[in-house]
Structure 1
Amino acid sequence: MDGKPGLRERKKQRTHAAISDAAITLFLEHGFNQVSVAQVAEAAEVSKRTLFAYFPTKEDLVVHRLADHETESARVVRARPPGTAPLTALREHFLKGLRDRDPITGLNDHPAARRLHRMILDAPSLVARMARFKTGAEHALTEALRETADTPEVTARLAAVQIVAVHWALAQDNAERLAYGEPADERYAGAVADTEHAFALLENGLRHLPPQQ
């Protein structure tokens, strides 16, 4: 076995990608609420039944592209080097995201990224789905803090809520500034300063989170 996916799995991956690409293209061109699932299925040349087998809801056609980020903070906490506090690892990871212009930090001024952000904000069902995404991130980070920092459940949960909220607020602020025309390169220094300030505020209340043993 060479570890490569088989023919059936490769076909499933191509179908998944075709549906996703067709959906995003249509949504960005016409608006999320203006495009039906049937139109997406037709553009992707699949049946509605097949589409729903890959994407259970219309909102999943958009949010799935952010799925890996739902547990990103939890992964960072689990992978941090020994002796590194959770907040230190998370701050450095977010700062790296800013340097790399990772869209999840909001600091990406590619036209497609801007349009995707505006599309999400303009669709109430997508805003609600993103709230569920945020809750999932809080749960995942709570478990990571409990497992790696020997943190009591209530402390881990309250810490996770604050950390995820800060990430969310920083990314939203960056994305909104870019949506109004501020270039990412000009925003970068301010985004870094805001990130350092935000994590300094967190550290004042969360400084007792122990480092990885």
Structure 2
Amino acid sequence: MLYVVYKVTEPLKILINLRGAGTELNIYFGNIFSKNEKSHLAIPVNEFFDTQLAGAKGPSGDIVAPNSIHGQFITKVYNSDSVKLDDDLNVALSGIVPNDLPRYLGKTSQYPIGTTAVIGSGKYRYLLFVLSCTDPITAKAKSDVPTMWNALEGLWTSVRNYSNGLPVALPLVGSGQSHVGLDSINLLRLIVLSIIKSSEGQRITSQINIVLHESVMRDVALRKIKEEFN
């Protein structure tokens, strides 16, 4: 009963006009991979841009959790075709010299936090950005607040350079496999603050959409977020 009352009294979508940023910020519950999402999509990945799903067999090893945003991107957008995704990533990252780090599973080309690969050829593209570090032995991803902040700075720079002013959507990054260590509402606050900070002096893009999964509905009071940032 309390959950029903919560859903009735709390908004499922809010609009925040970021003063001086020139950006409309929408925060709402939904599916970031919905066909109704008319925007570029920002996808958090690990620093190796791994493409092999856990449970699959391939040269990259079994690294990416299928239920993560990274994993869902591979299955929903690339139909689990890791070879095609690897080809596109190689082109997108060709101008960046990685560090070579041998490890037990997965790729060995390691990229800095915040590195963003822009892939896709349509009006709306995909921005895969490095959010987490990976244990070379266990392949477990991990991140923290400073790392997430740096990752978002790298993302916003790429959005500014490649979005052509079009909307960009991202999930509640840091809430899944990256294990940042903040609860959902504080992760959301961190993302909003990073947008505000990165907008100082130069607009990021016309619109940013933060798409929240329904599983965090009980933990995120959108009314409170709107009051804090409006």
Same topology, TM > 0.5: no
Which has the larger helix fraction? 1
Structure exhibiting the larger radius of gyration computed from Cα positions: 1
Name the TM-score, length of structure 2 as normaliser.
0.24
Which has the larger strand fraction? 2
Name the TM-score, length of structure 1 as normaliser.
0.26
